[in-house]
Amino acid sequence: MPFENVLCNPEWWKSFFAKDRFSYDEIPDLSGKVCIVTGGTGGLGYATVVALAAHGAHVFLACRNRVKAEEAIERAQTDILQLQFDFPNATYPPQKGSEQPYEKSYSGVAGGPKLEFLELDLADMNKAHFAAKDFLSRGLPLHILVNSAGIMMEEHDMSADGYEHHFAINHLGHFVFTNALLNRMRESQPARIVIMSSMAHEIPPSDKPIDFPHLRTSPPVQNEVLLYAQSRVANVLYARALARRLRHDQIYVNVVHPGCTDLQVQKKIRASDSRCFKHFSKLWLRIAYPVRRGALTALFLATSAKVEEEGGGKGIRGRYFTPIAYQLTPNPVTDDVDLQERLWAYSEKAAQGNSKI
Ligand SMILES: NC(=O)c1ccc[n+]([C@@H]2O[C@H](COP(=O)([O-])OP(=O)(O)OC[C@H]3O[C@@H](n4cnc5c(N)ncnc54)[C@H](OP(=O)(O)O)[C@@H]3O)[C@@H](O)[C@H]2O)c1
């Protein structure tokens, strides 16, 4: 049964009704940190960008659309100025009485939040690799990578490389981009990688969590819910395989279900022709998370000192987190190291050598 692992898991219900384990007050000063957030133009990615930049980090919005990204940067500058009471420990805007002037800037040279655009199209592995090279050529360190971009239950399409587009954008593009940045993260450690997944990773059948033979089949043999869910299993498998490869480094890789957010529900209501779905979704909207709250679990993993301190200094690695900052056991199929490695080998071959680590 889909979601059996969730519905029959008392830990999940406990986390659903429990108090939040992280808040905006707990985000530390991030001055000197360089971050990349994929998909920073809207939704959770944008909320993450605002929080990181307000706390002093230099943040790159890795997005496919320059115009949207520049609008998001402009909006973020304004939001950071207006949201001062939501971020009690923020660097920007400067506290009252501070001598530091607040000025808008795209690069932070003038003393404002440091926000920049990095062109990234995850639907094309060559472009994903090029985006990483573009970042590397700037000679900056990289401390925090949040892979927030993604698509969710969209109509069938194929990527530039001929893969089913949920799998391509949610997994393959990020696989190439992230792996190409790893050496820079090693040089910059301690560092964090946060990989977005979803509770939907619980849906695929345990005997075929990833339908390898049909990842390039068009039209697909599965519906868009299963295709989305499959891409989210891939995210958990990749996060666990990557965390294992980085176990001797101070690079903490973890994976997140952010919770169902109001903006995403509204987007699906707008896109749907079904009256039944629209009615059901209005109820859904009542329990959905406001986006800023939804971003908190990824922000916990990206910024909290606890991530490095836990386990007597071993840190939190390769774990699955749900709202707000609860560690849960993911779908048991993701424990399968052979499956993790099969996905890794498949992705590496698909990337045609673009992603060697
Ligand atoms: N929000 C939820 O309820 C929820 C629940 C579970 C999981 N998630 C996952 O969490 C992530 C963020 O969710 P969200 O609600 O913030 O989603 P969103 O508002 O739909 O934002 C998705 C972002 O991904 C970017 N993107 C899509 N395709 C891309 C591509 N080919 N290359 C580069 N960027 C691309 C979009 O860029 P454009 O602006 O150019 O379109 C946008 O910035 C997604 O991966 C989503 O599937 C969300």
Q: Which of 11-20, 191-200, 268-277 has the lowest mean pLDDT?
A: 268-277
Ramachandran bin of 195, using left for φ above 0, alpha for ψ from -120 to 50, beta for the remaining angles: beta
- Average of per-residue pLDDT across 312-323: 95
Do residues 232 and 315 share a domain?
A: yes
Residue 216 lies in a domain: yes
Last residue of a domain, one of 276, 293, 310: 293
What CATH number corresponds to the domain at position 339? 3.40.50.720
Do residues 147 and 289 share a domain?
A: no
* pLDDT at residue 287, rounded to an integer: 78
Is the pLDDT reported for residue 286 higher than 90?
no
* Nearest atom, ligand 1, residue 44 CA: 16
Q: Which of 59-63, 84-88, 176-180 has the lowest mean pLDDT?
A: 84-88
Do residues 270 and 252 share a domain?
A: no
Residue 47 lies in a domain: yes
- What confidence category does residue 98 fall into, taking pLDDT thresholds of 50, 70 and 90? low
Residue 235 lies in a domain: yes
Do residues 20 and 165 share a domain?
A: yes
Which amino acid belongs to residue 211?
D
Pairing state between β 191-196 and 326-328: unpaired
Do residues 212 and 319 share a domain?
A: yes
Residue 197 lies in a domain: yes
Q: What percent of the chain has pLDDT over 90?
A: 72
Q: Are 235 and 197 in contact (CB under 8 A)?
A: yes
> Starting at the edge strand that comes first in sequence, how are the strands of the sheet with 191-196 ordered?
114-119, 58-63, 34-38, 144-147, 191-196, 251-256, 320-322, 326-328
Pocket residues: Cβ below 6 A from ligand 1:
39, 41-45, 63-65, 68, 120-123, 148-152, 169, 196, 198, 257-258, 260-261, 263-264, 294
Residues 6+ apart with CB under 8 A from 348: 355, 356
Do residues 275 and 300 share a domain?
A: no
Per-residue pLDDT reduced to its tens digit, 251-260: 999 999 999 8
- What confidence category does residue 115 fall into, taking pLDDT thresholds of 50, 70 and 90? very high
What is the model's pTM? Answer: 0.93
* pLDDT at residue 104, rounded to an integer: 44
What is the Å distance from ligand 1's center to 150 Cα? 4
- Residue with the smallest CA separation from ligand 1 atom 36 is 39
Hey, what are 110's tokens? Answer: 């003038």
- What confidence category does residue 300 fall into, taking pLDDT thresholds of 50, 70 and 90? very high
Say whether 115 sits in a helix, a strand or coil.
strand
Out of 36, 37, 49, 63, give the residue to mutate to test ligand 1, the one with the largest number of ligand atoms within 8 Å of its CB. Answer: 63
Which is more confidently placed, 278 or 23? Answer: 23
Residue 21 lies in a domain: yes
Do residues 278 and 193 share a domain?
A: no
Ramachandran bin of 343, using left for φ above 0, alpha for ψ from -120 to 50, beta for the remaining angles: alpha
* pLDDT at residue 1, rounded to an integer: 60
Tally the domains of the chain: 2
Do residues 86 and 144 share a domain?
A: yes
Do residues 51 and 77 share a domain?
A: yes
Residue 356 lies in a domain: no
Domain that holds residue 283: 265-293
Out of 151, 228, 299, give the residue to mutate to test ligand 1, the one with the largest number of ligand atoms within 8 Å of its CB. Answer: 151
Residue 357 lies in a domain: no
What is the Å distance from ligand 1's center to 265 Cα? 12
Confirm whether 24 is a catalytic residue.
no
The alpha-helical segments, DSSP class H, found in 141-223 are 165-166, 174-188
Do residues 221 and 277 share a domain?
A: no
Residue 179 lies in a domain: yes
- Residue with the smallest CA separation from ligand 1 atom 35 is 149
What is the Å distance from ligand 1's center to 56 Cα? 24
- Average of per-residue pLDDT across 282-311: 91
Mean pLDDT of the chain: 90
Do residues 230 and 282 share a domain?
A: no
- What confidence category does residue 107 fall into, taking pLDDT thresholds of 50, 70 and 90? very low
Do residues 248 and 278 share a domain?
A: no
* pLDDT at residue 166, rounded to an integer: 98
